Amino acid sequence: MAYWLLKTERSAFSWEDQLKAGPKGGEWSGVRNPLAQKNMMAMKIGDLGFFYHSGDEKRIVGVVKVVSEAHPDSTDRTGRWNCVDVAAAGAFQKPVALSEIKAEPRLANMVLVRNSRLSVQPVTEEEWMLICRMGGYNQR
């Protein structure tokens, strides 16, 4: 079981959109970066990911789970890109802002801090647990 972080601009696809997709979830489409793509290809059903709003908000607002492993991205006509399906697993009681992550020394090595442009990133178990605690998110 692995942990990830998925970035999206609110205007493109928001947490509310993710909630609307319900327990069956939907495609995490539109990723057109080779490294982000490689990360998605490595996702397994049941893996969890932070849902991060980039742009004006810059904060983690919730958790999604992988409900379908990589398959062709329906928004891609070239046939080169794949995506996974994710469903909302729960919202943070208190969203965790990028500024809080940067202020936490134990998170200094997070990919989010090191390579802010990567849209699909791995998260370590230690980072995952700590951020869940910061966000008031209870894992089952």
Partner DNA sequence: GCCAACGTTGGC
* CB of residue 57 to DNA, shortest distance in Å: 8
Rule CB under 7 A: choose which of 23, 34, 79, 105 binds DNA.
34
Which range of residues in 72-80, 88-96, 115-123, 129-137 is near DNA by CB under 7 A?
A: 115-123
DSSP structural state of residue 43: -
Q: Interface residues for DNA in 41-100 (CB under 7 A)?
A: 54-55, 58, 98-99
Assess 109 for contact with DNA (CB under 7 A): no
Helix (H) or strand (E) holding 33: none
Nearer to DNA, 81 or 137 (CB): 81
Q: Interface residues for DNA in 1-30 (CB under 7 A)?
A: 7, 9
Longest distance between any two alpha carbons in the chain, whole Å = 43
Across 13-49, b (16+ Cβ under 10 Å) vs e yields bbbeebeebeeebbbbbebeeeebbebbeebeeebbb
Question: Among positive and negative, which fits the CA dihedral 12, 20, 88, 67?
Answer: negative
Alpha-carbon span 107 to 128, nearest angstrom? 10
Assess 116 for contact with DNA (CB under 7 A): yes
Q: Are 6 and 60 in contact (CB under 8 A)?
A: no
Assess 32 for contact with DNA (CB under 7 A): yes
Nearer to DNA, 46 or 54 (CB): 54
Assess 117 for contact with DNA (CB under 7 A): yes
Which residues make up the interface to DNA (CB under 7 A)?
7, 9, 32-35, 54-55, 58, 98-99, 102, 114-119
